[in-house]
Amino acid sequence: MALDRRVGVIGGTGQLGGAIVRGWLSSGVVAPENLWISNRSGINTAFPEWGGITFCTDNQQLADTCDVILLSVPPAQFGAVDIDAGDSLVMSVMAGVTIEDMAGKTGAKRIIRCMSSPAAGLRLAYSVWCAGDGVTAEDREAAQRLLSACGVADEVPEERQIDLFTAMTGPVPGFVAMYAKCMTDYAVNRGIDPAVADRAIRQLFLASGTIFAHEKPTPADHVKEMIDYAGTTAAGLLAMRNSPLYDSIEAGLDAAVEKAQSIAR
What residues from 44 to 73 belong to the interface with ligand NAP (CB under 6 A)? 59, 72-73
Q: Which is nearer to ligand NAP, 41 or 242 (CB)?
A: 41
**Interhelix angle for 245-262 vs 174-189, to 10°?**
140
Beta bridge partners of residue 112, listed in sequence order: 91, 131
Q: Contacts with ligand NAP in 158-197 (CB under 6 A)?
A: 170-171
Identify the residue among 118, 121, 132, 151 touching ligand NAP (CB under 6 A).
118
- Under the binding rule (CB under 6 A), the answer on residue 132 touching ligand NAP is no
Work out how close the CB of 235 gets to ligand NAP at its nearest, in angstroms, rounded to a whole number.
37
Closest CA to 19 of 170, 162, 137, 131: 170
14 binds ligand NAP (CB under 6 A): yes
Q: Is residue 23 near ligand NAP by the rule CB under 6 A?
A: no
Strands (E), the chain: 7-10, 35-38, 54-56, 68-71, 89-92, 110-115, 125-131, 151-155
Q: Which residues make beta-bridge pairs with 129?
A: 114, 155
Report the residue from 11, 23, 121, 151 that binds ligand NAP according to the rule CB under 6 A.
11
81 vs 201, beta carbon nearer ligand NAP: 81
Q: Which is nearer to ligand NAP, 146 or 197 (CB)?
A: 146
Does 128 engage in binding with ligand NAP (CB under 6 A)?
Answer: no
| Closer residue to ligand NAP, CB minimum distance, 91 or 197 | 91
- 101 or 197: whose CB is closer to ligand NAP? 101
Give the torsion sign (CA, 30, 33, 37, 41): positive
Stretch that binds ligand NAP, among 35-43, 121-129, 135-143, 147-155 (CB under 6 A): 35-43
# of chain residues touching ligand NAP (CB under 6 A) = 27
For residues 140 and 148, the answer to whether their CB atoms sit within 8 Å is no
Cβ neighbors of 69 (< 8 A, separation 6 or more) are 7, 8, 9, 10, 62, 63, 83, 85, 88, 89, 90, 91, 108
Spatial separation of the C-alpha atoms in residues 215 and 7, rounded to whole Å: 35
Asked if 94 touches ligand NAP (CB under 6 A), the answer is yes
What are the distances in angstroms from CA 81 to CA 37, 72, 74, 124? 14, 10, 10, 29
Binding region for ligand NAP (CB under 6 A): 10-11, 13-17, 38-41, 43, 59, 72-75, 77, 80-81, 93-95, 117-118, 170-171
